[in-house]
Structure 1
């Protein structure tokens, strides 16, 4: 009894000492909230319309006062489910953790959600946390994301999607492509998936005739086709010298993508609808992709995004990420196989500065952190939960 009594003060002293020696980088506050952003222009493809951007934000603060803000998104549904995953399961695990241990935190959160992985809700939640951790890491280091994530270059070629939506007329597609070309942008992307192949072909041919051979033209089917139809359309498109054929088939049709890639000279682009590094590994090992379009929100954050980018490099493939240009400009600049940034502005309502564009290239921000100039008052005004 006496030995037990004597041990108690020592145990309390040890606990107090541990609390006093916690690193200053300990996460003291973790908050998640949802902001709805109206679409900046009408956006349609072969399967859907862009309803709104549900922007899920996570703010982390450490005991020495550093604050990191990260985010992910949906295009209209599921945002509250992501928010519930964060508030009910992930954020409580963050308080008390060392914010410097980004890999360790990502793995711990992923492991704690085994029942819902691999899937969109969990990946989007993880991305909100992981991008906040990277924002903290960069701010603490006093470095911009493009350098801390690799530092390959600052300027990345830009292609425009805003002038290529499926509801636009042929004349509007041509006018948009010519405007992009005049602005010095090296590429444009056009949506395909009209009911008949001759409709797609007429639209694409008109743009190619207008801009000539020097402008890159990409096409995107948004997973709308069968293998047989995608093969038929790829054959019809081949004389137009397209840079890639994006998401021709459902993302889970690995066999179909392998067969399609073997049947056409047009590079097949996939990745925006993949939610794990292992899915990319299977596609790349099977030869099912020529362009890798990994999305930092849908893959689960910057930590797995970089793994996919480096995996693609080992297969001698280029990375052209999907959407989120304000974040992807820095990541594409960070890696040697980053080729293109997609121009679809969607954060202007809640930021105070736009992505810099010089001579058709997106310029990665050089300020410490993610490089996104958030407008906190505008964010607060648009909170929905």
Structure 2
């Protein structure tokens, strides 16, 4: 038995690499929660989670006050048992974002330990479907960008070998959204996949109306057209349009995905490993989608999702939004528009521990990034 001997958590505020605005919010910073687990056989597993702009301190408190103390003495190889134990101890706050994000930070650390102990990369331990996955670019398509910049960015992505490009929609008028879509489609031609993302901006009627207007542009998918909890609305939309309907980044449990799959309300699920509670539930969603003949195109966290998408057979795309460069010492390997799954043991993320340590000294000094450490829990 390899027991968990100590556990601690950090919260680091990372600035965004470029201005990011969609139909409902601005991405001003990423609160990155890191969990370190040390086992009795000397292994260190590092997992993480995140929020966009706020709520990170609540996730950290959940870890510090409730989850980490329960881990000490448990066999780190019993990942499913630990996940169920922690989930059961937080029933008063599930299903919910704070709990799922905290569970994810622990669960990814446990998977890091599993892969390190097996001396295998995550994409093999989690399934090993194929060594690379296509990338689509989001960074060039934010809602605040004018049409000429959208077009310039789209052409650059096409010329760099990307097979997919996503732009944000949700302008005040249908005509504005259509003009942006038409300009990008004309710029990249018919061979490149074009996706649009509304970030839950529309009502049922407006989502159906805009989908009809978007129809002539051969969209790969229409993402988060309305509130994520409106399963019936997504079913109505899916039945009214030939555009694939994508949803999932704002869902926090396996059961929520189950509702969508049961109703046929989504043809693409975008399960986010942090928001669904970790790798353990992510794989359940991916395999349930496979059974339903539905694709998985995960949201954000490309550094981790490339390995998970490579692990399953029904994940054709990973979203390219770099955000961890400041605290990692390696970069995603990209070949001909596809991300190559890391082959080193563990999650495949090379954390820059010296940079993380240096950020700790910036706390309270007015720097926009800061790190707060939970007192280690020791048996």
TM-score by length of 2: 0.95
CA contact (8 A) 1:36 1:382 kept: no
CA deviations over 1:289-340 (Å, ceiling 9, x no partner)? 0101000000000000000000000100110000000000000000000110
- In the alignment of these two chains, the number of paired residues is 362
The question of 1:175 aligning with 2:189 is answered no
How far apart are residue 134 of structure 1 and its match?
0.1
| Whole-angstrom distance in 1 between the partners of 2:303 and 2:19 | 20
Larger radius of gyration: 1
Q: For residues 154-169 of structure 1, what are the structure 2 equivalents within 5 Å?
A: 154-169=131-146
2:233 aligned with 1:256:
yes
3-state secondary structure, aligned to 2:185: helix
Other-structure match for 2:184: 207
Shift of 1:33: 1.2
Quote the residue 1:58 is aligned against. Answer: 35
1:77 and 2:66 are equivalent in the alignment: no
Corresponding position of 1:102: 79
1:382 aligned counterpart, secondary structure: helix
In structure 1, the partner of 2:343 is: 366
Distance (Å, rounded) in 1 between the aligned partners of 2:216 and 2:226: 21
List alignment gaps of at least 5 residues for structure 2: 361-370, 373-379
Matched, 1:235 2:215: no
CA shift digits 1:106-161 (9 cap, x unpaired): 00000000000000000000000000000000000000000000001111000000
Match of 2:245 in 1: 268
- Contact 1:37/1:382, CA 8 A, preserved across alignment: no
1:226-261 CA distances to partner (integer Å, 9 max, x unpaired)? 011111100000000000000000001111111011
**One of 19, 26, 29 as aligned partner of 2:3:** 26
1:245 to 216, 222, 232: 222
**Matched residues in 1 for 2:243 and 2:266: separation?**
11
Q: Separation in 2 of the partners of 1:216 and 1:175? A: 16
CA distance in 2, matches of 1:111, 1:380: 34
Kept in 2, the 8 Å contact 1:257–1:288? The answer is yes
1:239 and 1:381 mapped to 2: Cα distance? 52
2:363 is matched with: none
Is the CA contact 1:274–1:299 (under 8 Å) kept in the aligned structure 2?
Answer: yes
Q: Give the structure 2 partner of residue 129 of structure 1.
A: 106
SS at the partner of 2:274? helix
User: 3-state SS of the aligned residue for 1:296?
Assistant: coil
Which structure ranks higher in relative contact order (CA pairs < 8 Å, sequence separation ≥ 6)?
A: 2
Equivalent-residue separation in structure 1 for 2:266 and 2:6 (angstroms): 41
Q: Determine which structure has the larger helix proportion and give its number.
A: 1
Are 1:347 and 2:320 an aligned pair?
A: no
Counterpart in 2 of 1:3?
none
Match of 1:14 in 2: none
Q: Which runs of 4+ in 1 moved over 6 A?
A: none
Give the superposed CA RMSD. 0.6
Deviations 1:192-230 (A, max 9, x none): 000000000001101111111001000000001001111
Contact map agreement 1:32 1:86 (CA 8 A) in 2? yes
Give the C-alpha shift of residue 380 in structure 1: 2.0
Partner of residue 43, structure 1: 20
Write out aligned runs for 1:277-296 (5 A). Answer: 277-296=254-273
Q: CA deviation at 1:379?
A: 1.3
Residue 314 in 1 paired to residue 298 in 2? no
Q: What secondary structure sits across from 1:297 in the alignment?
A: coil
Match 2:129 to one of 139, 149, 152: 152
Query: Can you list the C-alpha shifts for 1:145-185, whole angstroms capped at 9, x where unaligned?
Result: 00000001111000000000000010111111111111111
The equivalent of 1:116 in structure 2 is 93
Paired residue secondary structure (2:275)? helix
Q: Structure 1 residue 381: deviation in Å? A: 2.5
Query: Counterpart of 2:166 in 1: which secondary structure?
Result: strand
Equivalent position of 2:377 in the other structure: none
Determine if the alignment matches structure 1 residue 336 to structure 2 residue 308.
Answer: no
Matched with 2:193 is 216
Secondary structure at the counterpart of residue 153 of structure 1: coil
